[in-house]
Amino acid sequence: MSLAQFNLWIAEIRNDRTRGASELARRALELLAEAAQTLPAADGVELREYLLALAAQLEAARPSMAPIQNLLRRWREGLPIPADLNLTAARHLAAEQAELLIAASRRAVADCAAHAAKLLGPEPTVLTHSLSSTVVETCRLLQDSGLRMIVTESRPLAEGRQLAERLSAWKVPTTYITDAQMGLFVARADAVLVGADSVLADGAVVNKAGTYPLALAARDRGVPFYVCCESFKWRAPDDPPPELEEMAPAELGVPDWPGVTVRNVYFDVTPARLVSAWIAETGVRWPDVGP
Amino acid sequence: MSLAQFNLWIAEIRNDRTRGASELARRALELLAEAAQTLPAADGVELREYLLALAAQLEAARPSMAPIQNLLRRWREGLPIPADLNLTAARHLAAEQAELLIAASRRAVADCAAHAAKLLGPEPTVLTHSLSSTVVETCRLLQDSGLRMIVTESRPLAEGRQLAERLSAWKVPTTYITDAQMGLFVARADAVLVGADSVLADGAVVNKAGTYPLALAARDRGVPFYVCCESFKWRAPDDPPPELEEMAPAELGVPDWPGVTVRNVYFDVTPARLVSAWIAETGVRWPDVGP
């Protein structure tokens, strides 16, 4: 493994526009496991230093995505490589620690989806925005229970297309709409179900831009608004305020008009007061109970 | 003028996706003026019959657009062609009536914009959605008064691009965003200003899909939400409920996935309770006074 490879990995995580935060966090852990096995190092202590540097750079690559920070922090904390440990054992320990967290993350997504499916009940019509692994898994669980989906395209890169394609393969009757039509279609849903890139300590939800107006429309039309994500996505009360990542203006595909600034902020923040319930791997949290 | 030409005109009005309701109403009046001059007819009475049939078809072509109905109704009502009037005089009368209404419609847009510009005051930052002739005219009036604009793209056909292009030519500093970012940027505006395709008798606003969630976000962030349109756009209390036009799904540019229905409803309805003020050619109406 070379420095060039190392930089390619950082760039892969930084530039990924299709995978959700959990999936990218697992990918970061996979990269750490691979680095643990292949990184040239004199001994376990040096290996540990290199791995921690790589982890720090992976964390910094996507500051809006709490699961990357949280899972990589847990990986670092579980990584006490004693000075007398031989290199082979150190490699094995670091890689195994990453694989355990990948498995825990996958299990958390599955458990979240199971709670969401139970909460939604049979034959629900559900509206979602953007592409979330917990929502996809919930749809998979409910595909034979009369699920109907309403899917927004989710500009600029239209992750809604990937979801619509998957729902089509699962034979889930699906309505596909522009983001601008969310206010028209929210009242036809029994519930809105979205994932999250991260959840602030007070329960506010950082998710794909458009989630906040969708939550407002759901509240205005009396439709429950559920957020389904693993507890890895919750930020601690003392975490710094989330940075809302902005991507390349070129993604909007417009000309370069003089005096016109094209903005492409990927995430907005939905206040906790608009959330009907938070669904995590541990169960459903209602606002009364508090996040 | 032939039947083929007649049908082409109806199709032109039906298929136009770029002109706003007022502009299309004026275009319909232009077509009536041209028909009045060129339609083969035995006498004034026959001419009148043909023109009324054409007007009825033009009205039916865009049921969501109140100004087409209202201006064409006014044209019909001002069209008493006496049986003894010669054909040339009848042609002249019908065409002149259309031209008077075109002029009145243009004057109303200009007067609306003058009231809006006054209400916004100097150096305003204004967010708008879709492309409205009253909003464009307001921007033209304020281009040297420190106006800054925030413009949504307005999917599926992105009329926001036309507005951004015009604002660029006028050197108005402009921010261009996806529809999904409206919730992120509304708080940076001093006001939201939109036009309307029609306004219901209770003050609810039929406008480009996305206007309703935008109004919700403006209310949630304490930003005034102004609707600026000519009184031709108000519907009478006994008018039937508006039909929200739906256009070709192909405009969304997605594949034909089995089991997935692509919806493309162009308009949503913003309840009157979310409107801070209605601006018409006669002045500003606040909610206390009632629409």
pTM: 0.91
Chain A residue numbers touching B143 (CB-CB < 8 A)? none
Taking alpha carbons only, the member of B44, B41, B45, B16 closest to residue B28 is: B16
CA dist A88 and A288 (Å) reads 51
Q: What stretches of chain A adopt beta strand conformation (E)?
A: 125-128, 148-152, 174-177, 191-194, 198-199, 205-208, 225-228, 260-262, 267-270, 277-280, 283-285
Q: Which residue has the higher pLDDT, B223 or B20?
A: B223
User: Which member of A155, A164, A184 has the closest CB to residue B260?
Assistant: A164
Chain B residue numbers touching A168 (CB-CB < 8 A)? 257-260
Phi and psi dihedrals of B247, rounded to 5? -105, 180
Interface contact B212, partner A, CB < 8 A: yes
How many CB pairs below 8 A link A and B? 163
Residue B55 DSSP SS3: helix
B255, with CB counted inside 10 A (0-12, 13-18, 19+), is exposed
User: Which member of A179, A185, A258 has the closest CB to residue B180?
Assistant: A179
Q: Which residue of B has its CA nearest to A269?
A: B184
Query: What residue ranges define each of the domains in chain A, with the CATH number in brackets?
Result: 3-108 (1.20.120.420), 112-285 (3.40.50.10470)
pLDDT at B263: 98
Interface contact B263, partner A, CB < 8 A: yes
Concerning whether B144 is annotated as a catalytic residue, the answer is no
Q: Which residue has the higher pLDDT, B139 or A239?
A: B139
Chain A residue numbers touching B265 (CB-CB < 8 A)? 181, 184
pLDDT at A58: 94
User: What digits encode the pLDDT tens for the residues B188-243?
Assistant: 999 999 999 899 999 999 999 999 999 999 999 999 999 999 999 999 898 887 88
CA dist B124 and B118 (Å) reads 11
CB contact (8 A) between residue A179 and residue B179: yes
Q: Which of A266-270, B136-140, B232-236 has the lowest mean pLDDT?
A: B232-236
User: What digits encode the pLDDT tens for the residues B32-55?
Assistant: 999 999 999 999 999 999 999 999
Position B167 pLDDT exceeds 60: yes
Q: CB under 8 Å to B133, separation ≥6 — which residues?
A: B20, B22, B23, B109, B195
pLDDT at A289: 52
Taking alpha carbons only, the member of B153, B213, B154 closest to residue B177 is: B153
Average pLDDT score over chain B:
94
